[in-house]
Structure 1
Amino acid sequence: MRWRSASGVMCDKRISLKLKGKFYRVAIRPTMLYGSECWPMTKAQASQVEVAEMRMLRWSCGKTLSDRIPTGVFRAELEVGTIINKLREGRLRWFGHVRRRDRTAPLRRAESIHVEGIRRRGRPKMRWEDRLAKDLIELGRFGIYAETLLNLSTLYMVVIICVLMSAFSYTFRAFDATFLLCSRVFSVDGV
């Protein structure tokens, strides 16, 4: 569904905001997020999706960016949550489906494929597993799944992030969670 074809409903001033919000949740958002379970989305891409969503929400409310109305007001009027949370929810749901498959299934066998060769120069591209690990870390779920997803480079990044978080928040909860995760990954005894 194209946004322009739905604009007759979304931009009609005679239709209530509640009904517009429901139409957005039922028809437009699923179209935007089709297949997003498998996207290894970076922060820049997530920002672009969020900007596109807010433009549509503003447009359906009859406002513009120059009106300087906070985004929370539009979300409350239309009763719509953030699209970033929906993206994360879809990725984690798909991850659960993948994990429940038998290990001999082609999908699970494709996970363990290791490509030989030299990687490109520069920063490695975001992988689906890396995105899932970040989602689990953002949610504070340091479980079995996070351990299996984290490779060594991601683990170093997690340690640095959690140490910085503990330094800025003046608590050591983040550091303790990192130490617990590292001890499970590297099988450190005594924890």
Structure 2
Amino acid sequence: MYGTETWAITTTDWSRIQASEMRPLRIITNKTRRDKIKNEEIRRQVGVTPIRNKIEAPQLRWLGHLERMDEDRVAKRCWNWTPCGKRPRGRPRKRWIETIKDTLNRNNMPTFQELRNSGEMLVDRQKWRERG
């Protein structure tokens, strides 16, 4: 789980992470996929929260930390940096901010633009932790 704050996670990655999470949980409950028991039910039986929540929470915490940083910090400069030049051909790789936007949308939180424009929730650490 170390370093998950900065992962740009694709749908394929989420699928693999969930599969690796469910494998030991199914062994613990002595259930196979042939039993056709939903993952949520197995997590409830074992009493485990989904690993997706455990990955998204530090990402949102890092977003708040980034937005509160001084402008001269390296991480903040990288966050605000806009590359110049042409992009390579093909589909662009998923960026970290897109992962954050997906997380905000999935958790019924305000959009990233709304958060950035209002500024008050991201700047107030206690408010941001209560929300995330």
Q: TM-score, normalised by structure 2?
A: 0.76
8 Å Cα contact 1:40-1:131 kept in structure 2: yes
8 Å Cα contact 1:133-1:149 kept in structure 2: no
Q: 1:1-191 to 2 correspondence within 5 Å? A: 33-142=1-110, 146-147=112-113
Distance 1:69 1:135 in 2: 26
Structure 2 unmatched runs, 5+: 117-132
Distance 2:65 2:106 in 1: 20
Q: How many residues align?
A: 116
Distance 2:39 2:81 in 1: 43
Deviations 1:39-91 (A, max 9, x none): 00011111110111111110122222223222222111111111222222121
* CA RMSD in angstroms, aligned pairs only: 2.1
The residue type paired with residue 147 of structure 1 is Q
1:137: Cα distance to partner?
2.3
1:37: Cα distance to partner?
1.0
- Range that drifts further, 35-44 or 63-72: 63-72
1:35: Cα distance to partner?
1.2
Cα pair distance change 1:105/1:148, threshold 3 Å: farther
Distance 1:120 1:85 in 2: 33
Deviations 1:76-131 (A, max 9, x none): 11111112222221210111122221111111011122222221212111101111
Q: Which has the larger radius of gyration?
A: 1
1:148: Cα distance to partner?
7.5
Distance 2:12 2:66 in 1: 26
Report the counterpart of residue 122 of structure 2 in structure 1.
none
Deviations 1:125-171 (A, max 9, x none): 1101111122222233335xx11899xxxxxxxxxxxxxxxxxxxxx
Distance 1:148 1:115 in 2: 24
Q: TM-score, normalised by structure 1?
A: 0.55
- Larger relative contact order, structure 1 or 2 (CA cutoff 8 Å, min sep 6): 2
